Amino acid sequence: MTSSSTGAVPPLFAARDAGRRVLGPHPGGEGPCCWRPAAGTAGRRSERPGDYVGAVDQGTGSYDVVVVGGGHNALVSAAYLARAGLSVVVLERLGHIGGAAVSVEPFAGHPARLSRYSYLVSLMPQQLMADLDLDVRLASRTTASYTPWTRAGRDGGLLVERPEGEATRASFRELTGGDDEYAAWQAFYDEVGRLAGVVAPTLMQPLPLERELRDRVDERTWADVVEEPLGRAITRRFADDTVRGVVATDALIGTFASMDDPSLVQNRCFLYHLIGNGTGEWRVPIGGMGAVTDALARAAVEAGAEIVTGAGVSSITPGADGAEVTWHDGEREHAVTGRRVLSGVAPWVLRILLGEGEDAETKPSGSQLKINVLLDRLPALRSGVDPAVAFAGTLHLAEDYSLLEQGYAAAAGGSVPDPLPGEVYCHSLTDPSILGDRAGSAHTLTYFGLHTPDGLFDADPGARDVAVQRALASIDAVLAEPLADCIATDADGRPCVEAKVPQDVEQDLAMPGGHIFHGDLEWPWAPNRSRLDTPARQWGVQTEHDTVLLCGSGARRGGAVSGLGGHNAAQAVLAEV
């Protein structure tokens, strides 16, 4: 148990001084697009739905659907259902919507808006964005990845372009001394791409059975990705330790596992990271991740949904024809009923809200270290590559395959890995707009560390500082100058560095164990013997209660900023109600 998990229900309550806001059509207006502006916004149409405040008596009474939580999946559900003509209310405990998909200005004196928790978008289907008329731009990164290396006293880097070209081939040749490894790379990802092409179109459909997909995929590819620990395929098909590591990292994002783990949790993580829209490309949301959830909130509100912030849910009581949700605004308790209740919170938290109590044995365990940094300039690299090329994609650090396995063993034994595997993203190279008036000079740097399970920080509070120091050391190891020389300072003269371990994610977002996927990912299909006899089961959003469904990352096809849980829950409701 983490320190913030003792009494898991209280963190769901809004803070005592949190202001309650309701976003939604003002009842005195002329339809869903007539709003009452918040103070200071009169006479103009806001670009942010959060600038509109509806009537303060909303969020009580009865609705067709009550959505618990205001993350991106919850907003997707609300938008689809409101567009279908159902009455919908969203209850969010925080003072803002978006959950983990938000943009913030964490450094005083700087207008830079960083995507604090989630960074990139791949799994959100284009069809979903079109269905909801989302005004969201996703930009491709010019570099897919860059991996610095040092061998025989020589510094270099493995460059993977987007799209791959001659520079990528030459980079593989420089690292490995020949063309065999790049040929193996192309063959492997061509096979994975065909698998993605089969799976991706099913994500917004009722769950297929496993055999229905297996019959359409090459036997070797299915075995490599679905049936055997992924480490076997990687070590069999690639010879170079660095190349193996670049392939393996997609299996370890937010997932604490060895590449040989028999549970195949690493395989499932790998698959999700490679199937987005059939290409697996991870793109940068222009305006930051908050632009995505702002667009979703706007779609929901303009369709007639109500969004209540500062509404901490304390219990859900299912019945035969619906469910009652009890929530608190920091001053008093309220109750609202719905024919269906959709849960955007983690399944572990949902069970508590349903009155089942905390179960330490089933609590998810997150594994990531997130560090957000604001730089005055990009640092030079030891390899001599242009920083604008190296930092434009995913910069892999200490992620050779052997180092990944070494890091897992260290963390499993209770120690912070040294070196600490991780990767860096610089979104401002793709989207300078997030820097405000510092666009063109400053840059954001986001570090995502692997093999940092929450248990490390429970056992040793000092492990946080050690992990941050080792993360920064892994960056310095590939630079020609200290990163500290490039870090901006805030209005109080402090370095612009912000770190989040799993305990912080749990405390901030009520995600148990700080698990960014709400729990281990599942295969995006149904086992062959599944009973798919209800719409909720057919869409992978069922709970033990017919009137309560999952709509968040804990749904069967959850994880990442995809909206799939929200879409699929909405389809199940529309089939039932």
25 vs 215 pLDDT, higher one = 215
461 vs 417 pLDDT, higher one = 417
239: which 2 tokens?
Answer: 């010879």
| Count of positions (residues) in the chain | 577
Closest Cα partner for 562 from 332, 283, 253, 208? 283
> Which band of pLDDT confidence, cut at 50, 70 and 90, is reported for residue 58?
low
Q: What is the pLDDT of residues 20-55, one digit of tens each?
A: 444 444 333 333 222 222 333 322 233 343 443 333
Q: Taking residues 12-24, what's their average pLDDT?
A: 40
Residue 104 CA to residue 86 CA, distance in Å, equals: 32
Mapping DSSP to helix (H, G, I), strand (E, B) and coil, where does residue 92 land?
A: strand
Q: Residues 216, 245: contact at Cβ < 8 Å?
A: no
Q: Residues 59, 89: contact at Cβ < 8 Å?
A: yes
Residue 277 CA to residue 560 CA, distance in Å, equals: 13
Q: Residues 484, 379: contact at Cβ < 8 Å?
A: no
463: which 2 tokens?
Answer: 């492990």
Residue indicated by tokens 């030079």: 380
Mode of pairing for the β-strands spanning 88-92 and 61-68: parallel
Q: Taking residues 295-307, what's their average pLDDT?
A: 97
Mode of pairing for the β-strands spanning 103-104 and 114-115: antiparallel
Q: What is the pLDDT of residues 328-360, one digit of tens each?
A: 999 999 999 999 999 999 999 999 999 998 999
To the nearest 10 degrees (0 to 180), the angle between helices 72-83 and 289-302 is: 30
Q: What is the pLDDT of residues 489-524, one digit of tens each?
A: 999 999 999 999 999 999 999 999 999 999 999 999
Q: Taking residues 396-425, what's their average pLDDT?
A: 99
For residue 535, give the DSSP letter: H
Q: Residues 221, 197: contact at Cβ < 8 Å?
A: no
What is the per-residue DSSP string for 37-89? BPTT-TTS--SSGGGB---TT-S-EEEEEEEE--BHHHHHHHHHHHHTT--EE
100: which 2 tokens?
Answer: 């983990």
Give the amino acid at 104.
V
> Which band of pLDDT confidence, cut at 50, 70 and 90, is reported for residue 107?
very high
% of the chain exceeding 90 in pLDDT: 88
Burial annotation 99-133 (CB, 10 A radius, 16+ → b, else e):
bbbbbbebbeebebbbbbbbbbbbbbbeebbebbe
The overall average pLDDT reported for the chain is 91
Residue 17 pLDDT greater than 50, yes or no: no
Closest Cα partner for 353 from 516, 550, 513? 550
For residue 300, give the DSSP letter: H
Mode of pairing for the β-strands spanning 312-318 and 367-375: unpaired
| Contact residues for 122 (Cβ-Cβ < 8 A; gap 6+) | 273, 276, 277, 280, 281, 282, 283, 560, 562
Residue ranges in 427-563 assigned as alpha helix (H):
454-459, 463-476, 502-509, 535-538
Q: Taking residues 195-202, what's their average pLDDT?
A: 98
- The distance in angstroms from the start CA to the end CA of the chain is 39
Per-residue pLDDT at 257: 99
Across 438-447, 517-526, 565-574, least confident range = 438-447
| Cα angle 147-149-151, degrees, rounded to a multiple of 5 | 160
Side-chain half-sphere of 530: how many Cα atoms within 13 Å? 21
Q: Taking residues 105-117, what's their average pLDDT?
A: 95
368 to 107, 255, 308, 513, 516: CA distances (angstroms): 22, 8, 30, 11, 9
Per-residue pLDDT at 577: 85
> Which band of pLDDT confidence, cut at 50, 70 and 90, is reported for residue 60?
low
Taking the model in full, what pTM does it have?
Answer: 0.91
Q: Taking residues 453-469, what's their average pLDDT?
A: 96
Alpha-carbon dihedral sign for residues 550, 273, 443, 493: positive
527 vs 45 pLDDT, higher one = 527
Residue 445 pLDDT greater than 60, yes or no: yes
Mode of pairing for the β-strands spanning 88-92 and 103-104: unpaired
Closest Cα partner for 479 from 555, 383, 574? 383
Per-residue pLDDT at 56: 37
Per-residue pLDDT at 399: 99
